[in-house]
Amino acid sequence: KRRSLLSLAALSIVAGCSSTLEKQPDPNFSNRLRIPPPAEPVIDADGAKRFSLDLRAGRSEFLPGRITENTWGVNGAYLGPTVRASRGDKVRMAVTNSLPETTTLHWHGMRLPARMDGGPHQMIEPGATWTPEWTVDQPAATSWFHPHLHEKTAMHVYRGLAGLFLIDDPDGPPLPDEYGVDDLPLIVQDKEIDDAGELETSGVDRGTFGLLGPTILVNGTYDPFVDVTTEAVRFRLLNASNARVYRIGFADGRAFEVIGGDAGLLERPVRVDRVKISPGERVEIVVRFSPGETVVMDSRGEPRKTANDIEEDDFQLLKIVAAAALKASPGLPATLSGPGPETPPAGARVRRFSLSGSEINGHDMDMTRIDEVVPAGATEIWEIDNTTYAHNFHIHEVAFRILEINGAPPPAYQAGPKDTVFLPKEAKARLLVRFGGFVDPLTPYMYHCHLLRHEDKGMMGQFVIVEPGTENLVPRTIRAGH
Ligand code: C2O
Ligand code: CU
């Protein structure tokens, strides 16, 4: 199979630079980082924010001067606008499928009734418009949206369907929050782009991890740079890759503060020099710059290399160019969020999930089978035991805390509220999970591996939330597409 020099060179990085392939040319960082435009809502008579999201195909220019056909986006050719709402807002969505195939749009990280969740059951046929609505009632967080059609999620996300959904809390602490200035989203994805500029898709649904591309796009920008004008900049990192795991930091080794994870702010800032982020996870960091300096954000694998690890590759992600004069930024508040570490209530129910090749507890996903029935408002302990190569575990509707990973507390920057946890080869995790109160015994939420090839292969289960005391009365078989 022919590959461009670019892919060959980049592949040598994937291969750990040990091969005889040419080394990756030094990146030029020649393209200005795209910032996803804010979605503009219409305000309805009742004050609800109404967003129109059109899922469509288009053409993109990733490599300079080369057109990539058939990329998918929301209100554009690739990725989507940034949707934003505050705690307490009512939102009303009109999601139109202008694509040639059925898809869904899932609000990853949002706490809402299962019928509004956009999972595999809420299918949108070509030409149809889906209109979920809900009231945002959860702490400030960087959430996102992407398709979730059973067996097709990997391809739909790879083609470009993904966007950010930022939740604001008017009572939150003061943080850099000028979107596009000192509050910058970074959607990190890997791609394989051929000579002609076309997206190579044949690897997406093959192999153990699906496609692991040699080319990184940030916000859909190839080889990007960004100018910053303030001393402190908040980056909202989203790993929207199909399977790649990154260990993000800076080429000069500088430390930075982590302020939040998937489901909201940490109790207080945590100083680190690398953060690991697997598919579906978000990490919010605040980095300080000196006037006139240039620094490269990169991903660096841990020195340890083990078979089947997918987290070992090195990439340069983004060049950050600080202006000669920077606007002063205040230091971060010492305390970011209210409740500190949570302890499991006595007698909390424990559920165990064993992950193998592409099964959970020995089952492939079945859209008609309810795997778990959870009473509304429950706090439970979920134990995830990964018996094979790397996976992660995402639960819809909830925020959880990682109590333990391999018997030890998680790194401090992962101790806050989360919805996705990375499980390296043969790792075990104990999670403290708080469920909400949207009762619907006939419409399930999902839990699954967020490595999209695994999810598509069936590494997913379904749970319903029911009125406490009715757990044994609800049907364990439902109609698909409900
Ligand atoms: Cu990001 Cu079930 O998904
Ligand atoms: Cu997996």
In this prediction the ipTM stands at: 0.98
- Spacing, Cα 211 to ligand 2 middle (Å): 13
Ligand 1 pocket by Cβ (under 6 Å): 106, 108, 146, 148, 280, 394, 396, 446, 448, 450
Instruction: State the pLDDT at residue 307.
Output: 57
Q: What is the pLDDT of residues 153-182, one digit of tens each?
A: 999 999 999 999 999 999 999 999 999 999
Q: In CATH, what is the architecture of 33-168?
A: Sandwich (2.60)
- Spacing, Cα 113 to ligand 1 middle (Å): 15
d(CA 461, CA 372): 8
d(CA 31, CA 294): 15
Contact call for residues 303 and 247 (beta carbons, < 8 A): no
Residues within 5 A (CB) of ion ligand 2: 391, 449, 451, 454
User: Which ligand is nearest the CA of 458, by number?
Assistant: 2
Instruction: State the pLDDT at residue 358.
Output: 87
d(CA 463, CA 182): 39
Same fold, 175-327 and 350-466: yes
User: Which ligand is nearest the CA of 209, by number?
Assistant: 2
- Spacing, Cα 330 to ligand 1 middle (Å): 35
Specify the ligand 1 atom closest to the Cα of 447. 2
Q: What CATH number was assigned to the domain covering residues 175-327?
A: 2.60.40.420
- Spacing, Cα 280 to ligand 1 middle (Å): 7
H helices of 72-224, in order, are: 153-158
- Spacing, Cα 458 to ligand 2 middle (Å): 10
Quick one: pLDDT band at residue 233, thresholds 50, 70, 90? very high
Q: Write the DSSP assignment of 136-168 as a string of letters.
A: --S-SEEEEEE---TTTHHHHHHTT--EEEEEE
Instruction: State the pLDDT at residue 305.
Output: 58
Model pTM? 0.94
Q: What is the pLDDT of residues 298-323, one digit of tens each?
A: 999 887 656 556 766 799 999 999 99
For range 129-143, the mean pLDDT: 97
Quick one: pLDDT band at residue 12, thresholds 50, 70, 90? very low
- Spacing, Cα 277 to ligand 1 middle (Å): 15
The residue whose CA is least distant from atom 3 of ligand 1 is 108
Using only the alpha carbons of the chain, give its radius of gyration: 21
Quick one: pLDDT band at residue 343, thresholds 50, 70, 90? confident
Strands in 106-108's sheet, in edge-to-edge order, are 83-86, 163-168, 141-146, 106-108
Q: What is the pLDDT of residues 365-384, one digit of tens each?
A: 999 999 999 999 999 999 99
Specify the ligand 1 atom closest to the Cα of 109. 1
Specify the ligand 1 atom closest to the Cα of 119. 2
Fold assignment, 350-466? Immunoglobulin-like (2.60.40)
For range 414-431, the mean pLDDT: 96
The residue with tokens 């000196």 is: 290
User: Which ligand is nearest the CA of 360, by number?
Assistant: 2
User: Which ligand is nearest the CA of 117, by number?
Assistant: 1
Q: What sign for the dihedral angle of Cα 184, 187, 192, 198?
A: negative
Domain-wise residue ranges, the chain: 33-168, 175-327, 350-466
